[in-house]
Amino acid sequence: MTADVIIVGAGVTGAAIARELSRYKLSVLVLEKEAEPAFGVSKSNSGIIHAGTQNPPNSLKGWLAVEGNRLIREELAADLGLDFARCGQLIVVFDPADLPELEKIKKDGEALGVRGLEIVDRAWLDANEPNLGPEVKAALLAPSAGIISPYRFVYALVENAVKNGAVLKTSRKVTAIRRPAAGGFEVVAGGEVFRARFLVNAAGLYADEISALAGAPAFKITPRKGEEYLLDKKRGHISNRILFPLPSGTSKGILIIKTSDGNPMIGPTARDTADKEDLSTSDEGLAEVLAGARRMIPSLSKSDIIAYFSGLRPVSGKDFIIRHEDGAPGLVNAAGIQSPGLTSAPAIAVMVADILKKHGLGLEPRENFHRLRPRPVHLFQVPPEETRRLIAKNPAYGDIVCRCELVSAQEIRDALKRGARTLDGVKFRTRAQAGRCHGGFCTTRILKIMREELGFPVTALTKRGPGSELIKDERKWPSEELDRSS
């Protein structure tokens, strides 16, 4: 069986492309090497939906970010039931001598189509961001920026794509790509061979390797590590908008981010690394992040930190690589998708669909395209009346498993029904274990629910796929044997 399109990678880029292509009468197959979507680059994303400033004019980033921002704000947030909060962003300066640079960012942003940009002074900041330290002199306000849960964005895109006929196969690492004489592609993944007329490469950190396997001219992905530190939810009030310092050459700087789940987050660092699998954090990273964040909000302290993680940005040069590879006809690369990749994803998807169309893929709209995806239930986001209504519908919504984040047993079962297969998959979909006790109290209960719903023994349950098994052995109590015999 030959698909119309195979997409390699179910991160935000691949998921957005899958959802976009699922509008049309096409057979779309997504191959993801990890156990679940979003387990690569996307899960470590900070979740910022950028206003679209700070991108070079005449770059793909420049217009794709603005268009992606618009698509999320005006369509996808509502259609896909995303928890998008349009909180706005501020780029602050500590030195009045930097005001011209701020002005330039404003002008360049306006040229790219960013609206509502405004330079605000100390008086405005005192009224609207009272926790900012006295070193901050002024800022550029971008009201169209917002915050989203990056992995829940990916799940929403994937679920809707699948609902509209796309097929997702996980734990399928692409190891070879062949070009049959008759045309198209033969993709070997997880020991199986898949065929397609067109191939879209959205393989994140490994996009260079996939492109090479497909016979396209080489480019290189250099991982750039960013460490992020999550603060206790109790400190959620420290800022109202996403706070940026002036950008440097390689990064947007240490930010103070209002995550969509309520915990402030500080970071990221930006350090090139050679290892595509190195997700370790460091004492130096912590020091750098804390110093940068405290320059903007001095009252932050190390004791506010409850968690940390790092991510690797798939960097290839200064811009996205989104093009048909004439040297490997039928291959479209969507690579080097670093910041503002999450924001740009919906626009990248439209661009890729367009490129495919130009190269012979017929795009005939599907009659029953399910545009809408209902927002999943998250008790921590709903008011008491809604909670009562949910519990009346299903009592298990009142059975609290994760107390730090208020996640009920039913939400965990819902997540498993929607595709979670691993403990991390449950965590990213529901927030269970992401709170201050880090699963100290809820993990056994979650594993029991997983065992029940998935039908696996507890020793087969993993944190994030094969190799990360959580329990090495299970002992049976003698009483179980007695019970069975009576």
**What are the residues binding another protein (CB under 8 A)?**
234, 277, 279-283, 285-286, 303, 305-309, 384, 387-388, 391, 395-396, 398-400, 403, 406, 408, 423, 436-441, 443-444, 448, 458, 462-477
Nearer to another protein, 78 or 291 (CB): 291
The residue annotated as part of the active site, out of 50, 237, 359, 438, is: 50
Look up 50 and say whether it is catalytic: yes
Task: Report the C-alpha gap between 262 and 64 in whole angstroms.
Answer: 28
3-class DSSP assignment, residue 401: strand
Q: How far is the CB of 478 from another protein (least distance, A)?
A: 11
3-class DSSP assignment, residue 339: coil
Nearer to another protein, 337 or 442 (CB): 442
Q: How far is the CB of 103 from another protein (least distance, A)?
A: 40
Q: How far is the CB of 44 from another protein (least distance, A)?
A: 11
Nearer to another protein, 37 or 435 (CB): 435
Nearer to another protein, 93 or 305 (CB): 305
Nearer to another protein, 175 or 280 (CB): 280
* Radius of gyration (C-alpha) of the chain in whole angstroms: 23
Q: How far is the CB of 403 from another protein (least distance, A)?
A: 6
Instruction: Give buried/exposed letters for 195-228 (b at 16+ CB in 10 A, else e).
Output: bbbbbbbbbbbbbbbbbbbbebeeeebbbbbbbb
Structure token digits, residue 170:
């996980």
Task: Give the end-to-end CA distance of the chain in Å, rounded to a whole number.
Answer: 53
Structure token digits, residue 234:
């109790």
For residue 452, how many other CB atoms are within 10 A of its CB? 11
ω before 383 within 30° of 0 (cis)? Answer: no
- As to burial, measured by CB atoms within 10 angstroms (0-12 exposed, 13-18 middle, 19+ buried), residue 382 is middle
Q: How far is the CB of 315 from another protein (least distance, A)?
A: 21
List all residues 6 or more positions away from 89 whose beta carbon is below 8 Å from its beta carbon. 48, 50, 51, 141, 142, 145, 241, 242, 243, 244
Q: How far is the CB of 205 from another protein (least distance, A)?
A: 14
Task: Report the C-alpha gap between 425 and 442 in whole angstroms.
Answer: 15
Nearer to another protein, 313 or 427 (CB): 427
Q: Which of 169, 90, 96 is nearest to 129 (CA)?
A: 90
Which active-site residues does the annotation give? 50
